[in-house]
Structure 1
Amino acid sequence: MRRNMITLMAVVLFLLLGGQAVWADGEGNSEKEVEDSLLDSMDFNSIQAAVDEMLEDQSVSFFQAVEELIKGEDPFSYENVKKMVKKVVQSSWGTQKTIWINILILVLASALFSNFSGLFNDGQLGEMSFYIVYLLLFGLLIKNFTILSRELENTLNGILTFMRALTPAYYLSVATATGVSSAAMFYQIVLVIISLVEKVLIKLVLPGIHIYIMMSFVDQLSKEDMMASMAELLKNVLSWTMNTMLGMVVGLQVTKNLIAPALDSLKRTTIGKTAGAIPGLGNVINSVTEMVIGSAVLVRNCLGVAAVVILFLCALKPVLHIAVTGLSYRFLAAFSEPVTDERIVDTLNSMGEGCGLLLKALFTTEVLFLLTIAILAGSYGGA
């Protein structure tokens, strides 16, 4: 009891001294001083280093973006995002154009050899021609898929580096705006997500997608299905794993979000009413507390919005690259089906499904972090 009274008195003195300091130049200036003080206590250098590493040639200042959002400005204009999307699509097309032309030539060569071998009674010539073309196609597709998966792995590692740098700053803003319990909930969930992405997505799911692609390609070497069921099982296991991760983390967040903000609200209400009951000083304490918490909520939400946009921009390039590549293989499979061997068509479809799994891995990571930020940004901390 004595310790609680001492703590309460310390809080009251802090609020009174802070109130006298920040009220000296008026309410507007005091709010800005609180916001600047909170921003100055955060380490933006490591965050900016992670942003520069992820976006590479795109110069985006995270601290400047947060400041502009606090002022009510829009640092991420539609025109700039549109230019980035256009640039990424052009880059993806330029990278994949040569590969698509080579694949189309191999598909046409396979169709030509298949039809040409039909003129002879012996089908060995057609089979030999198919194996030659298929091995060339196999090597080309594996090389392209390796490039895509490596790009995705670098993106996931970049997202993890960014979230590690963002977590201390966001923790501080959440603790000030909402409470220590909510901030601890955020910190714990972020650590869980980082661990899941590192140990499950990067070390298990991505190699599993590689194995699925290899099994699908090897299965097409024979006219009979030898590994089709095993490849389908592996694909389902990978999808179930990512769905389970998403469901588990979302359920954990929803459950904790029902308790932590209510606990913080109860603590602040108790302290606020106790401090507000002090004769002659209660109104001043309540006014200063509301101003500090309101400024902290603004900083927290602006920090969250900037982080959400950065995560979106980080995923923009690999999403468009993988999506354009996967759709192109689907179109190649559809247009080549009437003229070429069915095994070539199945191989192209398998490549498209592999790109779909890569996209799902990226979307799972993005959704996990975006939901964590959005759930906290949707709660208001008040006394």
Structure 2
Amino acid sequence: MIRKRTWILRLIFISILLVLIGKPSASYAMSTQEEEYDYTQIQKSLNSALGKEDNMNFGEYVKNLLSGKESFSFKGVFQKMLQTIGLEFKSNLSSLMKLLTIAVISAVFTNFSHTFQNSQIAETGFYVTYLLMFVILASTFIGATKLATDTLHNVLNFMKALVPTYCMSVAFCTGATTSAAYYQGILILVTVVDYLLLKIVFPLTSIYMMAVLANNLSQEDMLSKLSELLATLIRWMLKTLLAVVIGIGTIQSLITPAVDQVKRSSIIKATQMIPGIGGLFSGVAETVLGAGSLLKNCIGVAGLVAIIVICAIPIVKLIIYVLIYKLVAAAIQPISDKRIVNCVSASAEASSLLLQTVFVAAILFEIVITIVAVSTMRVT
């Protein structure tokens, strides 16, 4: 009897204690949880990718999202993109003029070749101008490849830093099963992007560029089918990777979160059956889990914005590369040799492949973060 009374008194004491301190506000729960996350590695990756001038404070941005403030907007990104467009056109103006000048000189040798009794003179002049064109196109393409490679490295390093923190927030509001599954899935995706895009697609793009330049060196068409095959293969690889990631992510989002949701719901419903304090437990759980879900979504949104900021300027630069090559090809087509025009057009195509690769990589990680955020919305 004494033991029974002691147990009842303890239960009453615990209930009173939970009423007094066990029902935190949503803002307090969010601030308490937010302090437990470390954004140091994420911020280091952003500093490395953006530099100090264009830096984005990831931790402050998450806090401002939680509080409803807006310290970082896309307006600054758009302004920087407009500045980049002007600077890139100015910096590439010299290359544009060089290409046009070489094309005009080549046209002189081509159009007046009939005046020479020996056609080898015209061919020699063409080869000289073609080699000059080769050097300029190859140097600009190497710069574009380095830009695309550095951008992918920056995105991969950012994702490697973001995944532990993001999956920790997922684990808090859903469960360990969902968090572990998404953690492994994102790391696999990072590895696939690193291997497939950096070690296969970019080298294939360089081979495509060299094949086109070598093919147009002579009048005989020997490597055009190889270059077409390489371009088609690269596009298929990008489309296949995008489709596979979306498919696997969608299927995983339908199954994995449901397992933790069933476990969580069972525990909460079991606590609701406790007389007197069941409803209190349920209220506290809903408040804490709701705050955790909001924090998870804020970290995800900050990650989406960071990827856009990292990729926006390089994508604009690659677009400018493509536009300049296409502009030159359109300008010299009426007067220049078709082999010169084909080389410039191939450079535009190669830069377009680099642009598509960077864009697909950015979209892949944006989709993955979005799938994780949407599939873990329900916490009870």
The answer, yes or no, to whether TM exceeds 0.5 is: yes
Matched, 1:108 2:109: no
User: Which structure: larger Rg?
Assistant: 2
Q: Deviations over 1:81-140 (max 9, x none)?
A: 222111221232232111111111111111122223232233222111110000011011
Which amino acid is 1:50 matched to? S
Contact 1:19 1:285 in 2 (8 A): no
Contact 2:293 2:379 in 1 (8 A): no
Instruction: Give structure 2 stretches of 5+ with no counterpart.
Output: 1-13
Which amino acid is 1:299 matched to? L
State the match for 2:367 in structure 1.
Answer: 371
Q: Deviations over 1:340-364 (max 9, x none)?
A: 0000110011001101110111112
Matched residue SS, 1:271: helix
Matched, 1:80 2:67: no
State the match for 1:42 in structure 2.
Answer: 37
Match of 1:302 among 298, 303, 313: 298
State the match for 1:152 in structure 2.
Answer: 148
State the match for 1:332 in structure 2.
Answer: 328
State the match for 1:288 in structure 2.
Answer: 284
Which amino acid is 1:382 matched to? V
State the match for 1:136 in structure 2.
Answer: 132
Q: How does 1:169-318 map to 2 (within 5 A)?
A: 169-318=165-314
Contact 1:15 1:289 in 2 (8 A): no
Count, aligned residues: 366
Percentage identity across paired residues of the two chains:
32
State the match for 1:118 in structure 2.
Answer: 114
Which amino acid is 1:44 matched to? Y
- What displacement does 1:16 show? 9.8
Q: Distance in 1 between matches of 2:54 and 2:249?
A: 33
Q: Deviations over 1:231-264 (max 9, x none)?
A: 1111111211122211112111111111012112
Q: Deviations over 1:196-241 (max 9, x none)?
A: 1111111111111101100010000011211111111111112111
Q: 1:70 to 1:361 in 2, by over 3 A?
A: same
Q: How does 1:53-64 map to 2 (within 5 A)?
A: 53-56=48-51, 57-64=53-60
Q: Distance in 2 between matches of 1:365 and 1:280?
A: 53
Matched residue SS, 1:226: coil
- What displacement does 1:18 show? 7.6
Contact 2:15 2:277 in 1 (8 A): no
Contact 1:170 1:303 in 2 (8 A): yes
Which amino acid is 1:222 matched to? S
Q: Distance in 2 between matches of 1:247 and 1:121?
A: 59
- What displacement does 1:17 show? 7.4
Contact 1:134 1:344 in 2 (8 A): yes
Q: Distance in 1 between matches of 2:182 and 2:296?
A: 12
Matched, 1:32 2:27: yes
Q: Give the structure-2-normalised TM-score.
A: 0.92
Q: Deviations over 1:5-50 (max 9, x none)?
A: xxxxxxxxx9997875453xxx5xx322322222222221111010
Instruction: Give structure 1 stretches of 5+ with no counterpart.
Output: 1-13
Contact 2:130 2:340 in 1 (8 A): yes
Match of 2:63 among 54, 60, 67: 67
Matched residue SS, 2:115: coil
Which amino acid is 1:377 matched to? A
Contact 1:179 1:381 in 2 (8 A): no
Which amino acid is 1:51 matched to? L
- What displacement does 1:73 show? 2.1
Matched, 1:381 2:378: yes
Q: Distance in 2 between matches of 1:15 and 1:368?
A: 48
Return structure 1 stretches of 4+ with deviation > 6 angstroms. Answer: 14-19
Q: 1:87 to 1:133 in 2, by over 3 A?
A: same
Q: Distance in 2 between matches of 1:16 and 1:210?
A: 71
Q: 1:116 to 1:75 in 2, by over 3 A?
A: same
Matched residue SS, 1:43: coil
